[in-house]
Amino acid sequence: MIERRHVATLLAGTFLLAGSASVVQAETRALSLFNTHTQERGTIVFKRDGSYDSKGLQELNYMLRDWRRNEVTRMDPVLFDLVWNVYRDVGSHQPIHIVSGYRSPATNNALRNRSRGVAKFSQHMLGKAMDFYLPDVPLEKLREAGMKMQMGGVGFYPTSGSPFVHMDTGSVRAWPRMSREQLVRLFPDGKTAHLP
């Protein structure tokens, strides 16, 4: 038989958990960005009290536009949540340095003609991807944080002219793939959608 004090403790714990979930849902989120091509910078609030802020989303859409053609698209807001979570997890204090955001089909085709590393059906064309780096965080740590989220694709480009990671909100995948040993270190419980 459960004693009254145990019931009271259980109820108090339940209310605390419910309250903390409400706090998480009601939080305000902002991204501090620097576009490496346009030299634009800013801190943009994209979520207020747990709801997306339309003005902030429009500002992010513009900041992540196809700078070559000056074309803007509607970026996937979930991408901003993903990047915000990764930024928080790695403990950066620097702006997110954007290498690439939206790519128009014309820009994507032009880049494909110059490089084998550009996907024909790139998530960038759908407004679901961002290539970036953080000056104060090792690229490997950024890659691992993205993979731990298991919310989409994570590409690792340490030897690019401007080294970066790619993150998108497509299917869960990573390239190049990690070895089995690397995955075990990253996911010791074995619970991952990533393949060696």
How high is the pLDDT of residue 25? Answer: 63
Query: Residue 167 in contact with residue 86, Cβ under 8 Å?
Result: yes
Domain count across the chain: 1
Q: What is the CATH number of the domain that holds 113?
A: 3.30.1380.10
Mean pLDDT of the chain: 89
Residue 196 in domain:
no
Residue ranges of alpha helices (H) inside the chain are 4-25, 54-63, 77-90, 105-114, 139-149, 180-186
Domain, as residue range, for 116: 27-186
Q: How confident is the model at residue 22 (pLDDT cuts 50, 70, 90)?
A: very low
Q: Give pLDDT tens digits for 116-161.
A: 778 888 899 999 999 999 999 999 999 999 999 999 999 999 998 8
Residue 1 in domain:
no
Residue 64 in domain:
yes
Residue 9 in domain:
no
Kindly report which listed range (19-23, 99-103, 170-174) carries the lowest average pLDDT score.
19-23
Q: Rounded to an integer, what distance in angstroms lies between the CA atom of residue 164 and that of residue 97?
A: 9
pTM of the model: 0.84
Residue 2 in domain:
no
